[in-house]
Structures are given as C-alpha cells and as structure tokens.
C-alpha cells in the first residue's frame, strides 16, 4: 500500500502566529516534525503542505519536500487533501493511505505514526484512525487547547471536546481520561469524501475536525499510546517542550544534518 505523510502548516495560526517556524533547540518546529516523521517505517514519503513561502523555502533548504497550497483553507485536513491530489497528479500514482501529521507535535516518534497506520493495514473497513494518550493531570484535562476524547469498548471514538470530558464531578478515578494526539491516517478515498462532507454543528462548536465525520455516521478508530507528548499551542507550551526535548534521544539522529 502506498502511504504518505502530509504536514499542514501555516504562519497565520490564530493562537500562535508564526508557530511552525518557532525554534526548539535551535531548529524550527516544522523541521523537527518533518525529520521525525521521515523516520517512520510505514511511510513511503513525507511532505509539508503550506501557503507560506517562508515555510516552503525552509523545508526545501533542509532537503524536505514542500507543496504550496491555497491560503483559503480553514482546516488542516482540507490543506492535506489538496496536497494529496496534487501529489497523485504529479506522480501519476494513486495513494492508499494519507496521514495528516499536525505540525505542532514536535515530540512525535516514528513508532506513533506506525501505530496509527497499522489498524488500517489489518482491517480495510477502517477509514480513519486517531491516536490517544492519557491526560497527564487535571490542568491538562481542563485545558481548552487539548482535545479530549471518550471511546467505546472497541476503542472507537464516542465524542471529542475541548471541554473536560468525562466529568470529574462524581469522582471518576477509574475512568480513562485521554487526549487526541494529532497523527491521523485516512484512506485516500475517505479523505476526499471527508473534505466534501458538509461542515457540522458539533464540529464548529468544538472546533474538532473529527466530529464532522462522526456526525455524518463514520466511525473513528482510536489507538492508545503510552508516549508522553505535548503539542505546542502557546509560548508557554513551547518553553515546556523545548526543556523536555533537550534530552531527546531522537534529535541526535537528525539535528545539524
């Protein structure tokens, strides 16, 4: 199966303008995400999809592949879909799996990407997968920048929210509390279907792409991981991640190369 990763990135982030080029240990964040994604054993290639020349030029300068996309996209998934169709057109090869890898996950590991893809290889009825990781503390549970998810007994998503779910009000000590980790494989055909679906009320209210699929009746398979990872949504997040990554074992394989 032909599997590629696409990292959507733009400078005009509403919460953190210029985020992809913010430096972590001397390297722009988008560089970390790209280099680490390319270590995946299950990806045939990795691209950065952007509407900004600054990002495009940087990716090209470090030997990566970048694709210029429309500046009108509101959702990263739509940018990924445009890039995927252009890659197919230029390569004359149909893709099977397209992995949306968020550019604000600089602590991702190649094993996380492989874990996300594997269920789709094992079961061709699965059209979309998300990763989930345990919420670290109450502060993270209540952080609106973290997307929380609750699942059924087969680890299919029941709901996503930026609000603290499930509720702690009745002392839910033994109920798993998980956050979405934004490494999201789609089958190629479902990616196109997804972008043609009408936006939905819950997707808009929660600002979570996956709710569009769920409101239209599609199931999202969730894969639990035990890796401690932080996304970057604010300057404060950036400082925390930089401190954690100073001892990062993967970085020695790509930084300054």
> Could you report the per-residue pLDDT of 155-167, keeping only the tens digit for each?
999 999 999 999 8
Q: Residue 203 corresponds to which tokens in the numbers above?
A: 């997707």
Cα 79 to Cα 128, 192, 216, 222, 245, distances in angstroms: 17, 11, 21, 23, 28
Q: State the pLDDT at residue 254.
A: 92
Contact 136, 227 (CB under 8 A): no
Cα 238 to Cα 17, 73, 204, distances in angstroms: 13, 25, 27
Is the pLDDT at 257 greater than 90? The verdict is: no
Please give the Cα distance from 208 to 220 (Å, whole number).
13
Contact 134, 188 (CB under 8 A): no
Contact 104, 15 (CB under 8 A): no
Q: Which CATH number fits domain 3-228: 3.90.1580.10, 2.60.120.260, 2.30.290.10, 3.90.550.10?
A: 3.90.550.10
Eight-state DSSP code of residue 55: H
Handedness of CA 228, 107, 140, 184 (dihedral sign): negative
Q: How confident is the model at residue 122 (pLDDT cuts 50, 70, 90)?
A: very high
> Could you report the per-residue pLDDT of 14-60, keeping only the tens digit for each?
778 899 999 999 999 999 999 999 999 999 999 999 999 999 999 99
Least confident of 130-139, 172-181, 227-236: 172-181
Does pTM surpass 0.85? Answer: yes
Structural domain spans, the chain: 3-228
Please give the Cα distance from 43 to 126 (Å, whole number).
18
Share of the chain above pLDDT 90, in %: 81
- For the chain, report the end-to-end CA distance as a whole number of angstroms: 30
| Mean of pLDDT values over 218-228 | 94
């Amino acid at each position: 199966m032909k599997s590629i990763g696409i990292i959507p990135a733009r400078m005009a982030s509403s919460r953190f303008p210029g985020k992809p080029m913010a430096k972590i240990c001397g390297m722009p964040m988008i560089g970390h995400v790209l280099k680490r994604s390319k270590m995946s054993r299950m990806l045939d290639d990795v691209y950065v999809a952007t509407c900004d020349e600054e990002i495009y030029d940087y990716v090209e300068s470090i030997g990566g592949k970048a694709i210029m996309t429309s500046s009108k996209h509101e959702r990263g998934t739509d940018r990924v879909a445009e890039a995927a169709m252009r890659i197919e057109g230029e390569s004359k090869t149909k893709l099977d799996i397209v992995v949306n890898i968020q550019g604000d996950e600089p602590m991702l590991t190649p094993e996380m990407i492989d874990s996300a893809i594997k269920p789709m290889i094992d079961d061709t009825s699965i059209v979309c997968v998300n990763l989930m990781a345990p919420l670290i503390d109450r502060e993270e549970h209540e952080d609106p920048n973290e997307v929380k998810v609750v699942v059924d007994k087969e680890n299919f998503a029941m709901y996503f929210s930026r609000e603290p779910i499930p509720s702690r009000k009745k002392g839910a000590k033994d109920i798993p509390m998980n956050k979405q980790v934004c490494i999201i494989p789609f089958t190629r055909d479902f990616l196109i279907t997804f972008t043609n679906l009408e936006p939905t009320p819950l997707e808009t209210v929660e600002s979570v792409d996956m709710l569009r699929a769920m409101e239209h009746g599609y199931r999202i398979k969730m894969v639990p991981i035990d890796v401690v990872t932080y996304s970057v949504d604010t300057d404060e997040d950036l400082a925390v991640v930089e401190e954690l990554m100073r001892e990062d074992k993967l970085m020695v394989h790509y930084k300054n190369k």
